[in-house]
Structure 1
Amino acid sequence: MSTKALDAQPKFAQIKQYIIDNIRAGTWHENQRVPSENELAEQFNVSRMTARRALSELTDTGILTRSQGLGTFVASFKSQSSLLEIKNIADEVRLRNGHYSCTVLSLESMAAVAPIAIALGVEVDSQVYRSVLIHNENDTPLQVEERFVNPTLAGDYLQQDFADFTPHEYLSHVAPLTEARHTVEAIMPSNEVCQWLGLFNEEPCLQVIRRTWSAEGIVSFARLISPGSKYRLGGHLTFKKKQP
């Protein structure tokens, strides 16, 4: 980023960009402590509150991690998705200032075999839609998504250009989600999945099986597979105190 463009940014955004640039350049490594609020405030001639905002926003997006009493550190270089809410993977990548892209491997109509029919609540051998996509971050495969979709709730699914937006974005628009259920497990990937993810050495992968509902019924059944070395699941819970 040019100096002129940097100067035009708000101060907290300049601090964020400074931190991101140091991480990308390899100046600051994984788990390395970054400057404190006081140090950043002095360096950028801003208030401590402004420096805190920059650190907090980068922590919220998973780029940094904070440890009370110890400081703020460069987070582990893994993507993080929440178990508590369904996030759009493209948004997650962009929040990390990464470049998101998608490779469409398959987009077709097929006869539903029994497990798929049961998962979608449709008749066996009825037509359902199937897509297989690779989600990339900075042109590196991050996740394989195989999704089966109920055509009665997303009739134009096969006509979409998922290079421009994700299936999650499209389905959220045409059949707003009201419920989701998922299971998470560690698996050893098949040779095909290894090829899709660019895995040259066998390593465990994280597999999420997810079904989603709208007010009209089951919308989709998806299998999401990510390399264990590049992805993790996490979440944050806030509990209300009991009233006396």
Structure 2
Amino acid sequence: MTRSDHPFALYEKIKKNVVSDIESGKLNPDDKVMSETRLAKIFNASRMTANRALKELAEEGRIVRVQGVGSFVARPKPDAALLEIKSIAKEIADWGGIYSSQILVLKKEKLTPKIAQKMNLETGDMVFHSVIVHKDKEVPVQYSERFVNPKVAPWYLNQDFKKITPSDYLLEVAPVQEAEHIIEAVNCKKQIQTRLKIKPGEACLSLKRRTWSFDMVATYSIIISPGSRYKLVGKFMRG
């Protein structure tokens, strides 16, 4: 059997066609790729065959699939700060993106035992809680949940986080003395999958970060990003 006779040759042909369009410059980073329906019609294939082609292109890092929106040509993954703490808005601007955000939670609430332990506080103590989805050109790239000690940033809830990111504000009012990072590959909860517009089972990066300011735990953050849209790079320089 020749390669052209191989029963899976059709989905490979679709893949090669999309890759050719990308490498020739016909499709540029962030351009929308034809839908499964359109590809199936052009190549006289089933939608299942077209779906397989797009799925494999996504797994290979050639395209990014956004649930309910479509498939887009992937740009080279940006190097996101790990040891350095900086604004996600600046990171997105640095890689040529357009930053926006969706504020899901911004309130004062009582600490649960789990979060109280992380922040060296007592269960029932009051804390500021925010949940924000950060986007690049309206595509979600990061889900950020943050608990803030009111003693280090008493005006946290009064900020307009459409104009300034929590990181920018906190770095200004509560300079970091120390930071702890824990990184894991995770399967996101369904609610976070929906917020990030990703499919079940898609690999995600979880960064759990504690920071200290004024000799106390200032923040505890849970930051989750789709692995296909974001990567973390750490750099340490000894003084």
TM range (shorter): 0.5 to 0.7
Cα–Cα, structure 1 residues 200 and 86, in superposed 2: closer, same or farther, change >3 Å? same
Which residue is 1:88 aligned to? Answer: 87
* 1:158-186 alpha-carbon deviations (Å, 9 max, x no partner): 11111111111111111111111010000
| TM-score, length basis structure 1 | 0.65
**Which segments of structure 1 move beyond 6 Å, counting only runs of 4 or more?**
none
Does the 8 Å CA contact 2:207/2:222 hold for their aligned counterparts?
yes
Which residue is 2:176 aligned to? Answer: 177
Cα–Cα, structure 1 residues 237 and 214, in superposed 2: closer, same or farther, change >3 Å? closer
2:202 paired with 1:203: yes
2:100 paired with 1:97: no
Which residue is 1:219 aligned to? Answer: 218
| TM-score, length basis structure 2 | 0.67
CA RMSD of aligned residues (A): 2.4
Please give the residue correspondences for 1:1-244 in structure 2 after superposition, counting only pairs within 5 Å: 26=25, 77-236=76-235
Structure 1 unpaired stretches of 5+: 1-22, 31-74
Q: Secondary structure in 2 aligned to 1:164?
A: coil
Identity %: 39
Aligned length: 173
Deviation at 1:190, TM superposition (A): 0.7
Bigger relative contact order (CA 8 A; separation at least 6): 2
Structure 2 unpaired stretches of 5+: 1-21, 30-73
* 1:80-106 alpha-carbon deviations (Å, 9 max, x no partner): 213331121111111112111111001
Which residue is 1:42 aligned to? Answer: none
Deviation at 1:140, TM superposition (A): 0.6
| In 2, Cα distance between equivalents of 1:204 and 1:112 | 30
Amino acid at match of 1:125: G
